[in-house]
Structure 1
Amino acid sequence: MRTTLLTTLMASVCFLAGPAAAQTLRIALASEPTAVDPHYHDLSPNNALAAHLFDGLTSQDEQQKVKPGLATSWENDGKNKWTFKLRQGVTFTNGKPFTADDVIFTFCRTLKNETKITGSFADVTGNFAAVTAPDAHTIVIETKQPEPLLPTLVGTVGIISSGLAKHDKLSFDVEKNCGVTGEWPTLSTFNDGSSAIGTGPYKLKSYVRGSAIELERNDSYWGGKEPWASVRFVPVTNAGPRLAGLLAGDYDVIENPAARDLGRIANDKRFASVITPSTRVIYFQLDVARAPSPFVKAENDKNPLQDVRVRRAMSMAIDRDAIVKRLMDGAAQPAFQFLPTGMFGTLPNPPAIKYDPAGAKKLLAEAGYPNGFQVTLSSTNDRYINDGQITQAVAQYLTQVGIKADVDAMTRAIYFPRRAKKEFSVAIGGWGSGTGEASSFLRQWAATPDEAKTIGGSNYGGWQDAEFDKLIREAIQTLDDAKRDQLLQKAGARVLEGAAFIPLHFESTIWASKAEYKVTGRADQFTLAMSVKPAK
């Protein structure tokens, strides 16, 4: 009897020593979310945090395959109408049942959100001509233009509770404030937790910028209970301290340790790692619309960036292979278009952009700049992997061909609002395709903006090309996959010819953890507590 009791106690102790019993999952982030508000800024760290608290009508698995979320099924009439059947029995974390009213309220809020960064998520809902609810668990969306990717796009919009604002009967009538009679929820009310009411697997406990984000498990989550009672996200922007914290036992999982340190992790049985290729392209966007441009100095106040020969010279001056090998430690791939080759709508054999400093100098001379000009490269230093170092390297390459390049690197909290105001001349960017096809980048960054901001919402450089606009507008309305694929290839080739965007590389994402934790890497680069499970 004593032996049995001792065995039972020992088993209990062993169980309690495991990660599941530890209850609190501690994750060190390389890039900190800038808000709890799911509609504030279409930014991967923000979207990843939102995925813990809020569900979309659909969701994506680790390889970005669309699957049911708050909608269990959907169908299209072959034209502009989509019908979504909503999941029943779902409640918000305040106990309120989820219904079609919450979907209408959410879609309206994306268009009435005065605190958002640029047109975040309005590029999805701005194409809605009507949203109706035949019953409490059915939503019908009629789009102004056919939208073949609507099931994917609506999944990016986190559904919030209609109880967050006073309202009469809700309707998708933006001009009449959708029936809302009180104040819409704001950025501050999400960040302080009062509006952070979702249907997701976790609830917000606290959000302190620069310090930590703490979540609590939502035990009534419709998708099943998560193994972690609480989750603590800590921003640690430097790779060295992140790894040191993992080795010291301060963190259970970390984002993006330096690739050069993976050998150290692999040789230690206490730890594990996973490397996952992503769709995120790192690139520079050039101001081709203004003369003079704010951070370009050239004779007669010209803007050399308006000359395609100059833009091509800048791209040729950059040694992408060296950046991948030396700065990214091989955990990246050179980029010659804006989505990895082989994905939907990409060129099957994109022309390689060869490192050719002599050719770059020749092009600059042909454009009338044999002695170059001055330019400042604006960059984040805490958003993308090695972003500040990459920008410094690009500046050095440009200087070598006669373009005197300086670097202004800043925290993303400052950078993104300034970029949205078009304050830069040459600006770094990073874009991961949320849809898994080439239209994601092309419609958002390269298209001439429309009034509804459904396309071109991030065209801060002002590049315009009538032929490209014709191609992308037709492509994003084409339901036939084969035809859309061809249109996107032609549109992508047109953007590459214009050279107003300089692609550098595609990031791979690395996660490292204690060996008793299993992390499933994601192509969208989201770091999710839901992707971490006990290894045994």
Structure 2
Amino acid sequence: MNKKNLLATSIAALFMTTAGFSFAANLKIGLAADVNSLDPHYFNSGPNNAMASHLFEALVSVDSDGRIAPGLALSWKAINPTTWEFKLRQGVKFHDGSELTAEDVVFSLDRPAQIKNSPGPYTSFTKQIVGKQIVDPYTLRLKTATPYGPLPLDMSSVFIVSKKIALQAGTDDFNSGKAAIGTGPYKFAAFKRGDAVELTKNDAYWGDKSAWDKVTFRIITAGAPRMAALLSGDVDAIESIPPADLSKLKSNAKFKLEQKISWRTLFWHLDHQTRVSPFITDKAGKPLATNPLKDIRVRKAIAKAINRTALSERILEGLAVPASNLVAPGVFGYNDSLKVEAYDPEGAKKLLAEAGYPNGFAITLHGPNNRYINDEQIVQTVAQFLSKVGIQAKVETQPLAVYFPKAAKGEYSMALLGWGSLAGDFALRTVLGTVNAENGWGSWNWGKYSNHALDEAIESSLASVEADKREAFAKKAAATALQDYAVIPLHHQYASWALRKGLKYKARTDEFTFAHQFKPE
């Protein structure tokens, strides 16, 4: 080897050593939430979608600021009020070498409706489509029954799979890797449920190639072990930094932080059903014949009883801002005329008395203990706030895998949920729209809230092709829901990542952790 080549090799080796990476360019990331399926049409949850984005892609992609951009579709346009035309990229290959065509897209748009017993279906993104026309192998027209402006945004949430591979495949086949054949920047290597997901670089990827030959995502849902893994070098980066460790990381020159207000809003779902609510009693433990949460005065009292500023600053240590909307500031449809509910415990007591509960009642608050920043502490703190105004609150938190299925069945009276969306009308349609299996509305409407005026405002928003008109209706819908205290907003969560020195990552509004967007400095 001549001196010039030897010098170049030495410099490269030095760089890889000082950056803390092996010559094989492996990346290890600690995830804060469990990935329970690799079937991209089974369970619409943030952790699943983030992982699926490594293996699969959608027609439309979303950038780090929440703006839509070309994905598998190079372009799209409305050729009339009820027809959108999508032009596909040519030459895109699935991991098995077969070429992506419009046939695969049509199959992928049909598949979510065929998934049985989904705990969080994708059908809200596909139900509007009543016709699919393949013009040629790279041109597809999607027809809706009525004008529907946000169809391109819907198409950012439906992953495209290979018809040939997935036609006879079930969810287990995706989880085993047999059917996990997409067009994404990585290929399946291993899925160890509850422990890790391993991926390898797709060298034939049509877009920018990843810097990493292999990526290992370790599932570390508890904050302390996740932080310990970073400090010990077991992982190169983590998401969702435990609030108590922020100052420690900021003062450690071996690491860097990336932060951004995310799209995720945490709020309370309330039982709106006319029934004996399962976790509401009098203070002696006797079930109440009437559900007090049906009374807007009670819902407003709960909102006033919560000190959101204290919650954000103390319990979340600055990793949140108080919320008044179901979506975060800057998101399409955010209504800035809605103000954060003022902390007013005396006003809450007065409202409870007016509603016929001068001595309050008892309620159990439910929430996850391994999904959101300090989620268990959030539930406990809100319980303390409610107890101060006469609502005797108990707490029951559970792992996400146990909590979500029960909450989705309406088994709780007051349940914590975090929701992220790139559009206010989307969030309202899914979280508060009247439950309707035919059109996919209300798939996360745990409290079974139903309001005809809200549904009309959402429908008007979704039917507007002009952005200004659509946003005006979206803001009207937000006001309709939140002035009725359909849910009780708490805060907008910060997204945060901690990285080893030598790495860089651009913080994302959607909180997703994408291995292919980590770069060596």
* TM-score (ref. length: structure 2): 0.95
| Alignment partners' CA distance in 2, 1:37 and 1:192 | 10
CA RMSD of aligned residues (A): 1.7
The answer to whether the 8 A contact 1:127-1:452 is kept is no
Shift, 1:239, TM fit: 1.6
The answer to whether the 8 A contact 1:212-1:235 is kept is yes
| Alignment partners' CA distance in 2, 1:428 and 1:106 | 32
Q: Say whether 1:324 aligns with 2:322.
A: no
Letter in 2 for 1:72: L
| Alignment partners' CA distance in 1, 2:101 and 2:459 | 33
Gaps of 5+ in 2: none
Shift, 1:116, TM fit: 2.1
Shift, 1:262, TM fit: 2.4
Over 3 Å counting, the alpha-carbon distance change for 1:268 and 1:300 in structure 2 is closer
| Alignment partners' CA distance in 2, 1:358 and 1:467 | 31
Q: Which moved more, 1:137-146 or 1:444-453?
A: 444-453
For 2:219, the equivalent position in structure 1 comes to 235
For 1:522, the equivalent position in structure 2 comes to 508
Shift, 1:455, TM fit: 2.1
For 1:11, the equivalent position in structure 2 comes to 11
Q: Say whether 1:257 aligns with 2:241.
A: yes
Q: Which whole-Å deviations, capped at 9, do the CAs of 1:469-490 have from their partners, x for residues lacking one?
A: 2211111111122222222222
The answer to whether the 8 A contact 1:20-1:227 is kept is no
Shift, 1:267, TM fit: 2.0
Q: Say whether 1:301 aligns with 2:289.
A: yes
For 2:370, the equivalent position in structure 1 comes to 382
For 1:289, the equivalent position in structure 2 comes to 273
Shift, 1:4, TM fit: 5.2
| Alignment partners' CA distance in 2, 1:61 and 1:37 | 23
For 2:51, the equivalent position in structure 1 comes to 49
For 2:231, the equivalent position in structure 1 comes to 247
For 1:491, the equivalent position in structure 2 comes to 477
Letter in 2 for 1:134: V
Q: Which moved more, 1:17-26 or 1:208-217?
A: 17-26
The answer to whether the 8 A contact 1:102-1:159 is kept is yes
Q: Which whole-Å deviations, capped at 9, do the CAs of 1:332-384 have from their partners, x for residues lacking one?
A: 11001112345432222313301111111111111111111111111111111
DSSP-derived class of the 1:77 partner: strand
For 1:271, the equivalent position in structure 2 comes to 255
Q: Say whether 1:85 aligns with 2:87.
A: yes
Shift, 1:261, TM fit: 2.2
| Alignment partners' CA distance in 2, 1:34 and 1:232 | 16
| Alignment partners' CA distance in 1, 2:3 and 2:141 | 64
Shift, 1:3, TM fit: 5.9
For 2:429, the equivalent position in structure 1 comes to 443
Q: Which moved more, 1:256-265 or 1:218-227?
A: 256-265
The answer to whether the 8 A contact 2:127-2:440 is kept is yes
DSSP-derived class of the 1:269 partner: coil
Shift, 1:9, TM fit: 4.7
Q: Which whole-Å deviations, capped at 9, do the CAs of 1:240-270 have from their partners, x for residues lacking one?
A: 2212211111110001222342222222221
| Alignment partners' CA distance in 1, 2:506 and 2:365 | 35
| Alignment partners' CA distance in 2, 1:199 and 1:76 | 26
Over 3 Å counting, the alpha-carbon distance change for 1:160 and 1:9 in structure 2 is closer
Q: Say whether 1:504 aligns with 2:490.
A: yes
Over 3 Å counting, the alpha-carbon distance change for 1:69 and 1:341 in structure 2 is closer
Report the number of matched residues: 515
For 1:365, the equivalent position in structure 2 comes to 353
Pick the aligned partner of 2:185 from 177, 183, 201. 201
Letter in 2 for 1:268: N
Letter in 1 for 2:470: R
| Alignment partners' CA distance in 1, 2:354 and 2:403 | 34
| Alignment partners' CA distance in 1, 2:500 and 2:473 | 46
| Alignment partners' CA distance in 1, 2:233 and 2:500 | 8
Letter in 2 for 1:254: I
For 2:75, the equivalent position in structure 1 comes to 73
Q: Say whether 1:394 aligns with 2:382.
A: yes
Q: Which moved more, 1:241-250 or 1:154-163?
A: 241-250
Pick the aligned partner of 2:61 from 50, 55, 59. 59
Letter in 2 for 1:266: K
Moved >4 Å (runs of 4+): 1-6
Shift, 1:105, TM fit: 0.9
Over 3 Å counting, the alpha-carbon distance change for 1:80 and 1:382 in structure 2 is same
Shift, 1:89, TM fit: 0.6
* TM-score (ref. length: structure 1): 0.93
For 2:174, the equivalent position in structure 1 comes to 190
Q: Which moved more, 1:388-397 or 1:12-21?
A: 12-21
| Alignment partners' CA distance in 1, 2:437 and 2:223 | 42
For 1:310, the equivalent position in structure 2 comes to 298
The answer to whether the 8 A contact 1:318-1:398 is kept is yes
Q: Which whole-Å deviations, capped at 9, do the CAs of 1:97-132 have from their partners, x for residues lacking one?
A: 1111111111111111114224x2111111111012
Shift, 1:411, TM fit: 0.9
For 1:105, the equivalent position in structure 2 comes to 107
| Alignment partners' CA distance in 2, 1:263 and 1:161 | 46
Gaps of 5+ in 1: 167-182
Pick the aligned partner of 1:212 from 196, 200, 209. 196
| Alignment partners' CA distance in 2, 1:300 and 1:85 | 57
DSSP-derived class of the 2:376 partner: helix
| Alignment partners' CA distance in 2, 1:343 and 1:139 | 29
Letter in 2 for 1:292: V
The answer to whether the 8 A contact 2:278-2:412 is kept is yes
DSSP-derived class of the 2:57 partner: coil
Letter in 2 for 1:82: W
| Alignment partners' CA distance in 2, 1:9 and 1:228 | 19
Percent identity over the alignment?
Answer: 39
Shift, 1:41, TM fit: 1.4
Over 3 Å counting, the alpha-carbon distance change for 1:403 and 1:216 in structure 2 is same
Over 3 Å counting, the alpha-carbon distance change for 1:31 and 1:451 in structure 2 is closer
For 1:163, the equivalent position in structure 2 comes to 164
| Alignment partners' CA distance in 1, 2:459 and 2:172 | 36
Letter in 2 for 1:100: A
For 1:452, the equivalent position in structure 2 comes to 438
